Amino acid sequence: MKITPFLDRRLSRRFETYDSDGDGYVERADFDLAAARLTSAFGLTDDDVRAKRFHEQLLGVWGHLAAVTDTDDDERISQAEYRTAFVRGLLGRPEAFDDVYVPYLDALLDVADHDGDGRLGVDEHVRWSTALMHMSEDEARAVHARLDHDGDGLIGTEDLLAAWRAYYFSEDEDGPGAWLLGPL
């Protein structure tokens, strides 16, 4: 897989969202911190079943990511290792993506979707996006508006999954992958 300038910007932004402590590396501790930030933003304690499930799913993302990117086995991922995994096609396969992201998004919605209808209102979307993805409130509101295709004020799991797929697999600079995590 070739890293285009557009994909490079997307990969850099995604790496930043993984690197919760901002030290330039992605480690398991970053995923622990991200899980704590998100569940705290929704008022959940560590022993809440939804918090536990989300943390487990997030650690599943870490496990997959580490398995295919940590080439020097130092239990942390550099930006170079992350990009190399994409070049080699280890992260850029839709089937592997769905295996990891579908359960993760289900666990995320379980935390963020208060009424359990499988859709997020703008405030729920803003809360998870700012807590987990380091987005500003304005950026998160703009993303929600773009994902809300029918204008009912709600986005669902399929909307999020389609946007994440586009983030990784589409070169459309006007599509959802161009703005899912804020300006590139």
Residue-wise pLDDT tens digits, 113-126: 988 888 999 999 99
pLDDT for 108: 94
pLDDT > 70: what percent of the chain?
A: 95
134-178: pLDDT as tens digits: 999 999 999 999 999 888 999 988 888 889 888 888 899 988 788
Residue 95, CA atoms < 13 Å, CB-side half-sphere: 1
Which amino acid appears at position 57 of this protein? Q
In CATH terms, 5-170 corresponds, of 2.30.40.10, 1.10.238.10, 3.40.50.2300, 3.20.20.70, to: 1.10.238.10
What's the DSSP call for residue 103?
H
pLDDT for 144: 94
pLDDT for 13: 93
Asked if pLDDT for residue 111 goes beyond 90, the answer is yes
CA distance 128 to 81: 27
- Mean predicted lDDT score pLDDT of the chain: 90
pLDDT for 183: 82
> 151 φ, ψ to 5°?
70, 20
Q: What is the mean pLDDT of residues 42-69?
A: 93
Query: Greater confidence, 56 or 184?
Result: 56
58 — pLDDT class (breaks 50, 70, 90): very high
